[in-house]
Amino acid sequence: MHTPFRAHQLGVRLARLTGRPILESYHTYFEQYVANYLPWVPNRLGRYAVRGFSRRLGRQVDHLLVPSRQMADVLEGYGITTPATILPTGIRLEEFEGGDGARFRREQGIDAGAPVLLTVGRLAIEKNVAFLLEVLARLTPEFPRLLFVIAGEGPDAGRLAELVATRGLAANVRFVGNLDRRTGLLDCYRAADLFVFASGTETQGLVLIEAMALGLPIVSTAVMGSATVLAEARCARISTEDVDEFAGHVAPLLRNPDQRLALAQAGPDDARAWAAPALMQKAVALYRRLADRAGGALEAAPVVPESRAAEQRRISR
């Protein structure tokens, strides 16, 4: 099961009727969502409710699938003792080839020589795009032609547009909405000089892997799932959520095309570690082990990515 709400309830009923084990993915950091979307709920009460809800969910299933070590640590901190396997979703690398950056710039009226920053994702408070706008404001005095392209839509779009106007950044920001993943999004990635990202609630960070696959250098914070994706990446510069520090990583890369090229060339190799087919083979192996266990087979250890084996043993105690 891949959602803890109605599908979870139905899945639990079906499992009880059929005697099959339940594997559920836990891939949303609900604690942060409550803080962002229910600000009238006292923070302590919201955390208490989310943690209690998560513990009940854990007790109702046989195994949890979590996308990152950081998410597994969160669940362990909640007191959840259900066995868990750390396994990211990954992406299909063949879907992130090609793309025409020059075409995107022509269609959007972006000068061929203008430096471009890009972020991709749902426009929601937890994505922290407002922080990236503050970084942009810090950079524009040195790079007056700098353009920040924001690809995505969502409930925070209005607030972000107001912030752009208030900070006098209208000439430096382009909202392009949702783009076709097979065409326009690839072109958009190819048109950018740097990918910037600062979400603190990602449990996977898939857009970072997409940027890697397309050879786009990255400057990002490393929190939750993005920390896992970027831990061994050679194509990225890591920053804390500090405007001056983040801008201090971006500015040298904008000044130096050779540094950008070196990061760009490392990206596709970094992305191969997150290829979906290989990761999903591990998921299928886990399903089979759980099914065999339910049928009376000897218990076998869950399959996890090799570099995460130590975390798996600790979580499964």
Say what the pLDDT of residue 76 is: 92
Answer yes or no: is pLDDT of 115 > 70: yes
222-233 pLDDT, tens digit per residue, is 998 899 899 999
Domains of the chain, CATH where assigned = 6-90+275-315 (no CATH), 93-272 (3.40.50.2000)
Contact assessment for residue 221 and residue 197, using Cβ atoms and an 8 Å cutoff: yes
Answer yes or no: is pLDDT of 217 > 70: yes
Query: Region 26-38: what's the mean pLDDT?
Result: 72
Measured in whole angstroms, how far is the alpha carbon of residue 47 from the centre of its chain? 22
Answer yes or no: is pLDDT of 158 > 90: yes
244-258 pLDDT, tens digit per residue, is 999 999 999 999 999
Cα distance between residue 55 and residue 69, in whole Å: 18
Cα distance between residue 101 and residue 103, in whole Å: 5
Going by pLDDT thresholds of 50, 70 and 90, the confidence category of residue 270 is: very high
Contact assessment for residue 1 and residue 24, using Cβ atoms and an 8 Å cutoff: yes
**Identity of the residue numbered 235:** C
Query: Region 179-192: what's the mean pLDDT?
Result: 97
Residues with Cβ within 8 Å of 304's Cβ and at least 6 positions away in sequence, in order, are 85, 86, 87, 282, 311, 312
Say what the pLDDT of residue 293 is: 81
**Pairing, β 23-25 against β 63-66:** parallel
Paired strand residues for 220:
197, 238
126-149 pLDDT, tens digit per residue, is 999 999 999 999 999 999 999 999
Query: Region 96-107: what's the mean pLDDT?
Result: 96
Cα distance between residue 75 and residue 81, in whole Å: 8
Whole-number average pLDDT of the chain: 88
34-85 pLDDT, tens digit per residue, is 666 666 777 788 888 888 988 998 999 999 989 888 888 889 999 999 999 9
Say what the pLDDT of residue 63 is: 92
Cα distance between residue 191 and residue 212, in whole Å: 14
